[in-house]
Amino acid sequence: MAQVSIQEDVLIGVPDEPRLIGGKCPDCGNHVFPMQKDCPKCTGNQIEEVELSTRGTLWTWTVQGFPPKAPPYIGETDPSNFESYGVGYVELPGEVKVEARLTENDPERLEVGMEMELTVVPLKSDEQGNEIVTFAFRPVENK
Ligand SMILES: [Zn+2]
């Protein structure tokens, strides 16, 4: 089964080397995610697309324990099939805080400041049987 990015202008390199596309302001060095043309920090409107870092630290998090309102949510909405998932902000060093799903939903295993890395998680299948994936962060295993 092929994996397909939910949004190819945001998430590239699916499935093996996922990268997030953000923007960098050439005037002040500010990063944005998702990509936008206007810099929220200065008056620049020349923001250029960049691949963001794949590692960062967990800035804050929570656990989504019930299906979000759909749309915009497109995953499992049947409460009896729904599986809770972590969601949080991951701070990419020197870049930007990215709001993302977390692969971990156990509060015992999530801690502010822990190291996280980019991965993808399946949301649903499309009519062709492809698996639609979105980006997520997982705790970096200590080796
Ligand atoms: Zn700027």
- pLDDT tens, position by position, 44-82: 999 999 999 999 999 999 999 988 888 888 888 888 888
Q: Does residue 34 belong to any structural domain of this protein? A: no
Residue type, 117: E
- 29 SS3 class: coil
> What band does 143 get if pLDDT is binned at 50, 70 and 90?
low
**In contact, 56 and 20? CB cutoff 8 Å:** no
Ligand 1 centroid distance, CA of 96 (Å): 13
Q: Does residue 107 belong to any structural domain of this protein? A: yes
Q: Does residue 48 belong to any structural domain of this protein? A: no
Q: Structurally, how many domains does the chain consist of?
A: 1
Residues 6+ apart with CB under 8 A from 72: none
Q: Does residue 45 belong to any structural domain of this protein? A: no
Predicted TM-score (pTM) of this structure: 0.91
pLDDT value of position 1: 75
Spell out which residues have Cβ within 5 A of ligand 1, the ion: 25, 27-28, 30, 39, 41-42, 44
Q: Does residue 37 belong to any structural domain of this protein? A: no
Radius of gyration of the chain (CA): 16
- Give the mean model confidence (pLDDT) for residues 98-121: 97
Ligand 1 centroid distance, CA of 112 (Å): 28
- Give the mean model confidence (pLDDT) for residues 88-110: 97
pLDDT value of position 19: 98
Instruction: Write out the residue range of the structural domain in which residue 13 sits.
Output: 3-19+53-139
Q: Does residue 46 belong to any structural domain of this protein? A: no
Q: Could you give the maximum distance between any two Cα atoms of the chain, in Å?
A: 50
Q: Does residue 28 belong to any structural domain of this protein? A: no
Q: Does residue 112 belong to any structural domain of this protein? A: yes
